[in-house]
């Protein structure tokens, strides 16, 4: 009797845990699969209508863990219950992807798109398949087609930016981030990303733009050490290549960024001090070198 009670309690606890993971959108495949195999699989008849939602959750988790056997079982049961379900077809497509049967997955997604041209999931999965095959140029073309239909998908713009960076097309990558900045001008990460792209482009005009966007990122998030470093480096580069008047201004910008970095490092843990001291000493040497060149 006691063992039955313990089993019931475990079943309820596991069920509630999976429910919380769905509600909080937590994707932890190993935990889901373990709860399913160790507890819920033998108690699945007690889940009622929630069983079908659990099957879907377990299927995705199994794919994350490369447990194709579990995902295929879940799909067969879901197909029997919902023979025309688009969601089940999605799971089948993802299973094909996990098996590297990319042609089958693409055919399935094309069918879904033919039935519904606004199927965002199927279009995104086609991009993912091309990326998995290292077909970056084709992935860019597919994602551009997607964004013509769904221009407000911020994640897709960021993905397109990263794809352009992968092929070193910095101008188009910068354009993608500019689109994101226009839609959300208060996100410091967008300003920082654009600044880094402009910095990578390297010429004086883009370096000046990089410094400006690093400064804006710092304004939006004063604790952004990465942006402070970017501002320092961009200012140093400009100081080394500009005329005397601009050189003085850029040295001031670099000195300000260096001072902010010093203040940030006063809060580091003792075990990190040695490494941070080296970094700050390097910053000081760069500033001293720029000042000496200006004086001469």
User: What's the N-to-C CA distance of the chain in angstroms?
Assistant: 91
Q: Running DSSP on this structure, what letter comes out for residue 260?
A: H
| Banded pLDDT at 68 (limits 50, 70, 90) | very high
pLDDT at site 7: 55
Judge whether residue 290 has pLDDT over 90.
no
- Residue pair 229/251 in contact by the 8 Å Cβ criterion: no
Q: Which of 45, 2, 40 is nearest to 18 (CA)?
A: 40
Judge whether residue 270 has pLDDT over 60.
no
Does residue 122 fall inside a structural domain? no
User: What span, in angstroms and rounded, lies between the C-alpha atoms of 251 and 236?
Assistant: 7
Does residue 1 fall inside a structural domain? yes
pLDDT at site 261: 86
Does residue 127 fall inside a structural domain? no
Judge whether residue 259 has pLDDT over 80.
yes
Does residue 178 fall inside a structural domain? no
pLDDT at site 4: 44
User: What span, in angstroms and rounded, lies between the C-alpha atoms of 52 and 65?
Assistant: 20
User: What span, in angstroms and rounded, lies between the C-alpha atoms of 293 and 291?
Assistant: 5
Domain's final residue, options 67, 95, 123:
95
Does residue 118 fall inside a structural domain? no
How many domains, in total, are found in the chain? 2
Domain's final residue, options 78, 95, 112:
95
Judge whether residue 244 has pLDDT over 70.
no
**In the numeric block, which tokens belong to residue 210?**
């990089």
User: What span, in angstroms and rounded, lies between the C-alpha atoms of 234 and 195?
Assistant: 9
Domain's final residue, options 95, 118, 140:
95
**In the numeric block, which tokens belong to residue 256?**
């300000």
Judge whether residue 79 has pLDDT over 50.
yes
Q: What is the pLDDT of residues 42-56, one digit of tens each?
A: 888 888 999 999 999
Report the SS3 class of residue 28. Answer: coil
Does residue 246 fall inside a structural domain? yes
**Domain extent for 266:** 186-296
**In the numeric block, which tokens belong to residue 138?**
């084709």
Cα 61 vs. chain centroid, distance in angstroms? Answer: 19
Does residue 283 fall inside a structural domain? yes
* Mean pLDDT, range 100-109, rounded to an integer: 96
How high does pLDDT run on average in the chain? 89
pTM for this entry = 0.85
- Which CATH number is 269's domain given? 1.25.40
Does residue 25 fall inside a structural domain? yes
């Amino acid at each position: 009797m006691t063992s039955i009670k313990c089993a019931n309690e475990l079943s309820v606890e596991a069920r509630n845990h999976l429910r919380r993971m769905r509600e909080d959108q937590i994707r932890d495949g190993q935990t889901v699969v373990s709860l399913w195999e160790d507890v819920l699989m033998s108690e699945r008849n007690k889940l009622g209508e929630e069983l079908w939602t659990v099957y879907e959750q377990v299927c995705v988790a199994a794919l994350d863990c490369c447990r194709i056997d579990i995902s295929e079982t879940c799909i067969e049961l879901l197909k029997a219950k919902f023979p025309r379900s688009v969601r089940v077809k999605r799971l089948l497509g993802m299973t094909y992807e996990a098996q590297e049967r990319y042609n089958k997955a693409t055919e399935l997604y094309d069918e879904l798109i033919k039935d519904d041209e606004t199927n965002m999931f199927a279009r995104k999965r086609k991009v993912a398949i091309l990326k998995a095959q290292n077909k970056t140029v084709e992935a860019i073309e597919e994602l551009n087609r997607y964004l013509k239909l769904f221009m407000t998908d911020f994640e897709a713009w960021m993905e397109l930016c990263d794809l352009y960076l992968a092929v070193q097309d910095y101008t188009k990558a910068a354009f993608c981030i500019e689109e994101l900045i226009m839609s959300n001008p208060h996100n410091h990460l967008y300003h920082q990303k654009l600044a880094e792209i402009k910095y990578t482009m390297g010429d004086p005009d883009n370096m000046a733009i990089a410094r400006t966007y690093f400064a804006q990122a710092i304004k939006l998030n004063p604790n952004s050490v990465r942006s402070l470093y970017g501002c320092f480096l961009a200012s140093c580069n400009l100081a080394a290549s500009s005329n005397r008047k601009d050189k003085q201004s850029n040295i001031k910008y670099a000195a300000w960024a260096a001072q902010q970095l010093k203040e940030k490092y006063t809060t580091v843990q003792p075990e990190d001090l040695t490494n941070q001291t080296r970094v700050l000493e390097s910053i000081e040497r760069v500033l001293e070198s720029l000042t000496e060149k200006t004086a001469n």
